[in-house]
Chains A and B, each alone.
Chain A
Amino acid sequence: MSAPLVIDVRGLTKRFGDKTVVDHFDIAVPRGAIYGFLGPNGSGKTTTIRMLCGLLTPDEGDGQCLGFDVRREAPRIKTQVGYMTQRFSLYEDLTIRENLDFVARMYGVADRRKRVTRALEDLGLADRSGQLAGTLSGGWKQRLALAACLIHDPKLLLLDEPTAGVDPKARRDFWDEIRRLSKAGVTVLVSTHYMDEAIQCDFITYIAYGKKLIDGPATQIPTIVGLSTWRAEGPNLVALEAALQGQPGVAQVARFGSALHVSGTDATQLEATVRRFEAEGGQHWSKVPAGLEEAFIHLMAGARDNFSRDAA
């Protein structure tokens, strides 16, 4: 990693009562990267993001964010961070313009009026600026929220499940914008449940039960997960899919267009099973390199909601 680190923290820990929500979390985010946070509900994604922007005080751990100490200099970090909450958190009883104007004042944005007007034009909401924010649809609320957290031109964007409940078209537009920002040098840390979004990230970290399980460049994730994958093509795939479930070495079976991808972490056992089905004939089998998709399906499949902690 040649780019300077925007976030560099070690051992970040947060406890609520006797429950450890985030457990010795390390992360290093290079400038301009899109860093994806993956993990089931309750795994500690939101808590980690909140600690990074100073909304929560870590119980343990230290490091820097944008060159400021995460424990002692939270107020300074806040001036350069745009934080988009999971829930719409602008004022529903203020108009679109009033909301943007309010946020701009909070950050002491120079040339405020002009900046707000420009944001409204970029949003395509210039002619609806007097509308109450509460009356906007989910997709528009999300765009407004993004515009609000960009109003002070932050160097770091923290996005907590930004596209939850937004239609696919709006999601695509949203990600186009994120990639544009990333190219412009803005560092983006985003938590998500969606596989198609995770694929767009440069780096991926996977969290479960408050612990980091996997962390690396997106391209290396399948290797890190250690999956081997076989592809089956031919007739009767539905019957084959049912038959493969629970066979030795088979961790997951997923449909990819007209083919079936069978994956597992135990390559030898998986191959034995595949050979057996191949001998029965009917489908054409081939070994393929495991992709990000398989890796994510594998990760997500193994992850139940983390609210019950007995399995930790």
Chain B
Amino acid sequence: MSMGFSVNRFLAVLLKEFIQMRRDRVTFAMMIGLPIIQLMLFGFAINADPRHLPTLVEVNDEGPLTRALLAGMQTSGYFDFVGQVRGPAAGEEALRRGQANFVIVIPDDFARDVVRGLRPTVLVAADASDPSAVAGAAAAMSGIVSNAMAQTLTGPLAQAAGTPAPFEVVVHREYNPEGRTSTNIVPGLLAIILSMTMVMITAVAIVKERERGTMEMLISTPVRPAEVMLGKILPYVLVGYVQTAVFMVAAFAVFNVPFTGTFMAFFYGFNLFVLGNLALGFLISTLAHNQMQAMQLSFFTILPSILLSGFMFPFAGMPGWAQTLGTGVPATHFIRLIRKVMLKGAGTIDVSAELVALGVIVLVISLMAMLRYRQTLD
């Protein structure tokens, strides 16, 4: 009889794990369904720069200049014109009731005053009860107005358009010219989804064996620890691949997130990250006594991945101690890596710092897990 690693036994554990995975419909549905649901939720719901805000107009001077201005606003994507109002009271009422986020007032003799250089005021009344909701649109407003003027006031009227506009605001968004939040959120979301499923499912899969008593039977057989570990973890690596594939397709097809970097840079980082999460799950399973504890411990590791990794809030904006903590979180490095690769066109060399950091974290967690793992029930 052989005392070394047996491929047959390892394959037996692997096969058993797949059968159990298939039979546990709820978990299986969770593994495939959860990433999609989260993608839709976070990708669509979290938006720091919302568009298509309902807008009302009060037009007191019809003419080409007004039409140009309104057309410019419409095409900016921020404003959806839902109707016209008469008089300031009606506009105020609509805002208060939440029927519109904006009311645009074009003053009397607007075109004539512009031509005369009197610099009339276009009033934009915004519902600022949710400041972030209208901030982007408000910021874009001044640019739209001056553009519209420049286009309409041509020929002899050009000098009127040339006067310096006091409300000129420069918005310059690097790598994400349209300022869409989803471009920023979606790549990072992959890190969160992988953290959640990989850590939790690995931890629970192993603790479940102990809780149900099957671990006692398993280790009373000649099976070796490496056979159990690999046999149990590998199916979930595959699940991670499937999740990522589903995710990437959705990111391209639904959210138009670009992938400008090299695939290998992503591939290395992705595998290291998955490995790190599985090792973390394994480590948790050596600490938790039952499935409930495993879930809770997993959840605790996921919160820092969301809050300290730069996924939700800019990393540079955090205080020093939080940045130190965040540096120990694998998701921090993977989020940096994937944003660099997808949005900034990075190659393997450009992400070497992140790869090294991930490698170190994987090594440390794996060592800790190996030290904690017992082949006996001691």
Chain A residues packing against B (C-beta within 8 Å): 50, 53-57, 75-76, 78-79, 81, 83, 85, 87-94, 98, 102-103, 105-108, 148
Least CB distance, A169 to chain B, in whole angstroms = 25
Query: B173 at interface (Cβ–Cβ under 8 A)?
Result: no
Considering the complex, give the chain B residue whose CB is closest to the CB of A94. B19
> How many angstroms between the C-alpha atoms of A94 and B212 in the bound complex?
13
> How many angstroms between the C-alpha atoms of A108 and B24 in the bound complex?
27
Chain B residues packing against A (C-beta within 8 Å): 1-3, 6, 8-9, 11-12, 16, 19-20, 23-24, 212-214, 216-224, 376-378
Give the residues in chain A near B377, CB-CB below 8 Å: 50, 55-56
Give the residues in chain B near A78, CB-CB below 8 Å: 220-222
> How many angstroms between the C-alpha atoms of A107 and B1 in the bound complex?
9
Q: Is the CB of B216 within 8 A of A106?
A: no
Question: 7 shortest A-B CB distances, which residue pairs?
Answer: A105-B12, A106-B221, A89-B217, A89-B213, A83-B220, A87-B213, A78-B222
Give the residues in chain B near A89, CB-CB below 8 Å: 212-214, 216-217
Give the residues in chain A near B378, CB-CB below 8 Å: 56-57
Q: Is the CB of A55 within 8 A of B16?
A: no
Give the residues in chain A near B216, CB-CB below 8 Å: 55, 85, 87, 89
Least CB distance, A108 to chain B, in whole angstroms = 6
> How many angstroms between the C-alpha atoms of A98 and B17 in the bound complex?
12
Q: Is the CB of B223 within 8 A of A106?
A: yes
Give the residues in chain B near A53, CB-CB below 8 Å: 220
Give the residues in chain A near B221, CB-CB below 8 Å: 78, 103, 106-107
Considering the complex, give the chain B residue whose CB is closest to the CB of A53. B220
Give the residues in chain B near A83, CB-CB below 8 Å: 217, 220
> How many angstroms between the C-alpha atoms of A55 and B219 in the bound complex?
7
Interface centre among A55, A79, A81, A87 (most CB of B within 10 A): A55
List 8 A-B residue pairs with CB atoms under 8 Å apart, sorted by A's residue number. Answer: A54-B220, A54-B376, A55-B377, A76-B1, A83-B220, A90-B214, A105-B11, A106-B218
Q: Is the CB of A108 within 8 A of B9?
A: yes
> How many angstroms between the C-alpha atoms of A281 and B213 in the bound complex?
58
Give the residues in chain A near B214, CB-CB below 8 Å: 89-91
Give the residues in chain B near A92, CB-CB below 8 Å: 212
Q: Is the CB of A90 within 8 A of B217?
A: yes
> How many angstroms between the C-alpha atoms of A87 and B211 in the bound complex?
11
> How many angstroms between the C-alpha atoms of A94 and B214 in the bound complex?
12
Considering the complex, give the chain B residue whose CB is closest to the CB of A74. B376
> How many angstroms between the C-alpha atoms of A280 and B140 in the bound complex?
114
Give the residues in chain B near A105, CB-CB below 8 Å: 8-9, 11-12
Q: Is the CB of B3 within 8 A of A76?
A: yes
> How many angstroms between the C-alpha atoms of A57 and B219 in the bound complex?
13
Considering the complex, give the chain A residue whose CB is closest to the CB of B224. A75
Considering the complex, give the chain A residue whose CB is closest to the CB of B21. A93
Q: Is the CB of B376 within 8 A of A85?
A: no
Q: With contacts A79-B1, A94-B16, A106-B222 known, is A56 near B217, CB below 8 A? A: no
Considering the complex, give the chain B residue whose CB is closest to the CB of A79. B222
Give the residues in chain A near B12, CB-CB below 8 Å: 102, 105-106
Q: Is the CB of A55 within 8 A of B220?
A: yes
Least CB distance, B8 to chain A, in whole angstroms = 6
> How many angstroms between the C-alpha atoms of A91 and B74 in the bound complex?
62
Besides A55-B377, A106-B223, 5 more A-B contacts (Cβ < 8 Å) are A57-B378, A78-B220, A85-B217, A88-B213, A89-B213
> How many angstroms between the C-alpha atoms of A100 and B283 in the bound complex?
30
Considering the complex, give the chain B residue whose CB is closest to the CB of A54. B376
Give the residues in chain B near A56, CB-CB below 8 Å: 376-378
Least CB distance, B212 to chain A, in whole angstroms = 7
Give the residues in chain B near A90, CB-CB below 8 Å: 214, 217
Give the residues in chain B near A50, CB-CB below 8 Å: 377
Give the residues in chain B near A88, CB-CB below 8 Å: 213
Give the residues in chain B near A103, CB-CB below 8 Å: 217, 221
Q: Is the CB of A106 within 8 A of B9?
A: yes
Give the residues in chain B near A107, CB-CB below 8 Å: 221-222
Give the residues in chain B near A81, CB-CB below 8 Å: 220
Least CB distance, B44 to chain A, in whole angstroms = 36
> How many angstroms between the C-alpha atoms of A130 and B15 in the bound complex?
16
Give the residues in chain B near A106, CB-CB below 8 Å: 9, 12, 218, 221-223
Q: With contacts A75-B3, A93-B23, A108-B6 known, is A102 near B16, CB below 8 A? A: yes
> How many angstroms between the C-alpha atoms of A148 and B220 in the bound complex?
12
Considering the complex, give the chain B residue whose CB is closest to the CB of A50. B377
> How many angstroms between the C-alpha atoms of A88 and B219 in the bound complex?
15
> How many angstroms between the C-alpha atoms of A91 and B23 in the bound complex?
12
Give the residues in chain B near A93, CB-CB below 8 Å: 20, 23-24
> How many angstroms between the C-alpha atoms of A53 and B222 in the bound complex?
11
> How many angstroms between the C-alpha atoms of A108 and B19 in the bound complex?
20
Considering the complex, give the chain B residue whose CB is closest to the CB of A145. B217
Least CB distance, B54 to chain A, in whole angstroms = 52
> How many angstroms between the C-alpha atoms of A92 and B221 in the bound complex?
18
Q: With contacts A85-B217, A88-B213, A89-B217 known, is A57 near B9, CB below 8 A? A: no
Least CB distance, A58 to chain B, in whole angstroms = 10
Considering the complex, give the chain B residue whose CB is closest to the CB of A87. B213
Q: With contacts A78-B222, A106-B223 known, is A91 near B16, CB below 8 A? A: yes
Interface centre among B12, B218, B222 (most CB of A within 10 A): B222
Q: Is the CB of B6 within 8 A of A91?
A: no
Give the residues in chain A near B2, CB-CB below 8 Å: 108
> How many angstroms between the C-alpha atoms of A224 and B218 in the bound complex?
39
Give the residues in chain B near A76, CB-CB below 8 Å: 1, 3
Give the residues in chain A near B11, CB-CB below 8 Å: 105
> How many angstroms between the C-alpha atoms of A78 and B16 in the bound complex?
21
Give the residues in chain A near B219, CB-CB below 8 Å: 55
Q: Is the CB of A91 within 8 A of B213?
A: no
